A and B are shown apart, each in its own frame.
Chain A
Amino acid sequence: MEDLLKPDYGVLVLTVCNFLLLVYLLKKFAWNLIIGGLEKREQQIANDKKQAQDARAAAETLKRELDEKLAQISDEAAKKVAEAVKIGETQKEQILSAAKEQSERLLEQAKTQIEAEKNKALADVRGEIARTAVLAASKVVAQQMSEESAKSVVDRVLEEIKAK
């Protein structure tokens, strides 16, 4: 059992040579290729990641710009709507005012016309009454009175009618 701790220099040298040769050969035929492939893939992933980040940043910038434009357009639309409402209100006031004026004018015209018609009718009535009265009077006077007294009677009658 004491041989357990007794170094065998032959084995030691052989192991050193074997291990160092293995390191060299594996480096040349395996690790360089595997590490190269790994680093290439990592580089590709890093590039893809960077591209994705750039694209994301560009998309975010574009989104921000579009949001700003959208907000601007919304503001403009709101302003235009408010302006249109204002114009509408003004036009409504104008139309109402014009309509009121026109109705008042028409009413006034109608009143004037009615007054004129009324006066005309009254004048006609007066003329008719006068003629009738004269006719009646002339018939009475022709029988009883002179022409002058008859006229004075007619005038008095006319005055009385006017007074009524």
Chain B
Amino acid sequence: MDVAEIIAHHILDHDWGVSLAGFHLPITTHTVTLLSVSLVLLLGLAWIARMGQKSRAGRLLTTLSETYVSFIRDGIVLPNMGQEGRQMLPYFCTLFLFVLCVALAGLIPNMKTATANISVTAALALCSGGLILYCGLKFHGPIGFLKGFIPSGTPGWLVPLIFPLEVVSMIIKVCVLAIRLFANMLSGHMVLICLLLIIFVVGQMHIAAGAGALLPAMGLEIFMTCLELLVAFLQAYVFTLLTSIFAGSVIHTH
């Protein structure tokens, strides 16, 4: 029994994509999960927004969605970005829900946590980086945005040193967004599969030992699944919060 192979099989993406005229279309378990989550979110929220007031359940969901928007607006966007963040509110509402739902989708059988893929988290971080760049250019213009990388009061001779450092610092912040989400989601799933594998590894020694390990391992598995639920919410919140903080730091410079 190759434990490493089993873990890798569980964690890694499986590509059965097609290549058309030299272009590879990545149809993988993660992209299918992403697309499914996107479709469900799109149809569900569009239904809530348009048809919500016509039924009791719809009104309940509308109230829920408005509460969610209030939470994102008053808890994340406005405190960190100020009134300028209002126009970016749809981005943050989508970001939180997307990261959360993709993480939760991993708990559904035959689906995988796409945010345990570095390419997916890098893509989300890239979008957040693009938003930060957009905010900087929109509110300060190209020159003002670049000036924002130089802290006020910096001596002139330090500018050539500080400027690249600040630029790299911002790039690293964005990269860390991707790595943090990826690492948290991956580690949780690795722990889950490892706990399950305890049963089979011990069971290989003796069938009775495997049966004995069943209950403790399943208890730990349930505990870790609950922890994964918490981590999913926490990481969605952290990713959204940090994006808003970085964007806010660009809008409201020193």
Binding site for B on A (CB under 8 A): 1, 3-16, 18-23, 25-27, 29-35, 37-38, 41
Does B150 make an interface contact (CB < 8 A)? no
Query: Are B66 and A41 closer than 8 Å at their CB atoms?
Result: yes
Q: Please give, as numbers and ranges, the residues of chain A lying within 8 Å of B8 by CB-CB distance.
A: 1, 3-4
Q: For the complex of A and B, list the 7 residue pairs with the smallest distance between their C-beta atoms, beginning with the closest.
A: A15-B123, A10-B26, A30-B45, A33-B49, A27-B90, A31-B90, A11-B119
Q: Please give, as numbers and ranges, the residues of chain A lying within 8 Å of B17 by CB-CB distance.
A: 10
Taking chain B's interface residues, is the majority helix, strand, or loop, or is none over half, making it mixed? helix
Query: Are A29 and B91 closer than 8 Å at their CB atoms?
Result: no
Contact of B13 among A8, A26, A30 (CB under 8 A): A8
Does B30 make an interface contact (CB < 8 A)? yes
User: In the complex, what's the smallest C-beta–C-beta distance from A45 to chain B, in angstroms?
Assistant: 12
User: In the complex, what's the smallest C-beta–C-beta distance from A111 to chain B, in angstroms?
Assistant: 106
Contact of B94 among A9, A15, A31, A38 (CB under 8 A): A31
Contact of A11 among B31, B91, B186 (CB under 8 A): B31
Query: Are A30 and B12 closer than 8 Å at their CB atoms?
Result: no
Q: Please give, as numbers and ranges, the residues of chain B lying within 8 Å of A23 by CB-CB distance.
A: 90-91, 94-95
Q: Please give, as numbers and ranges, the residues of chain A lying within 8 Å of B65 by CB-CB distance.
A: 30, 34
Q: Please give, as numbers and ranges, the residues of chain B lying within 8 Å of A9 by CB-CB distance.
A: 119
Query: Are A18 and B119 closer than 8 Å at their CB atoms?
Result: no
Name which residue of chain B comes closest to A21, CB basis: B38
Which size bracket describes the interface of B in this complex?
35 or more
Query: Are B38 and A18 closer than 8 Å at their CB atoms?
Result: yes
Query: Are B45 and A26 closer than 8 Å at their CB atoms?
Result: yes
In whole angstroms, how far apart are the Cα atoms of A33 and B62 in the complex? 10
Query: Are A22 and B42 closer than 8 Å at their CB atoms?
Result: yes
Name which residue of chain A comes closest to B186, CB basis: A4
Name which residue of chain B comes closest to A8, CB basis: B119
Q: Please give, as numbers and ranges, the residues of chain A lying within 8 Å of B35 by CB-CB distance.
A: 18
Query: Are A26 and B186 closer than 8 Å at their CB atoms?
Result: no
User: In the complex, what's the smallest C-beta–C-beta distance from A11 to chain B, in angstroms?
Assistant: 4
Does B197 make an interface contact (CB < 8 A)? no
Q: Please give, as numbers and ranges, the residues of chain B lying within 8 Å of A34 by CB-CB distance.
A: 45, 48-49, 62, 65-66, 69
Contact of B118 among A1, A7, A31 (CB under 8 A): A7
In whole angstroms, how far apart are the Cα atoms of A16 and B34 in the complex? 11
Q: Please give, as numbers and ranges, the residues of chain B lying within 8 Å of A29 by CB-CB distance.
A: 42, 45-46, 49-50
In whole angstroms, how far apart are the Cα atoms of A22 and B48 in the complex? 16
Query: Are B127 and A14 closer than 8 Å at their CB atoms?
Result: no
In whole angstroms, how far apart are the Cα atoms of A7 and B120 in the complex? 9
**Known contacts A10-B26, A14-B34, A15-B124; 18 further A-B pairs (Cβ under 8 A):** A1-B4, A3-B8, A4-B11, A4-B186, A9-B119, A11-B30, A11-B119, A11-B120, A18-B34, A18-B35, A18-B38, A19-B98, A27-B91, A29-B50, A31-B90, A33-B49, A34-B49, A34-B66
Q: List 16 A-B contacts (CB under 8 A).
A: A3-B12, A4-B11, A4-B118, A8-B15, A8-B26, A8-B119, A10-B25, A11-B123, A18-B31, A23-B91, A23-B94, A25-B42, A26-B46, A29-B50, A34-B45, A37-B49
**Residue of B24, B28, B34, B49 most packed against chain A (CB within 10 A):** B49
Name which residue of chain B comes closest to A22, CB basis: B38
In whole angstroms, how far apart are the Cα atoms of A30 and B42 in the complex? 8
Does B93 make an interface contact (CB < 8 A)? yes
Query: Are B119 and A12 closer than 8 Å at their CB atoms?
Result: yes
Name which residue of chain B comes closest to A31, CB basis: B90
In whole angstroms, how far apart are the Cα atoms of A33 and B47 in the complex? 11
Q: Please give, as numbers and ranges, the residues of chain B lying within 8 Å of A30 by CB-CB distance.
A: 42, 45-46, 48-49, 65
Q: Please give, as numbers and ranges, the residues of chain B lying within 8 Å of A26 by CB-CB distance.
A: 41-42, 45-46, 90, 93-94
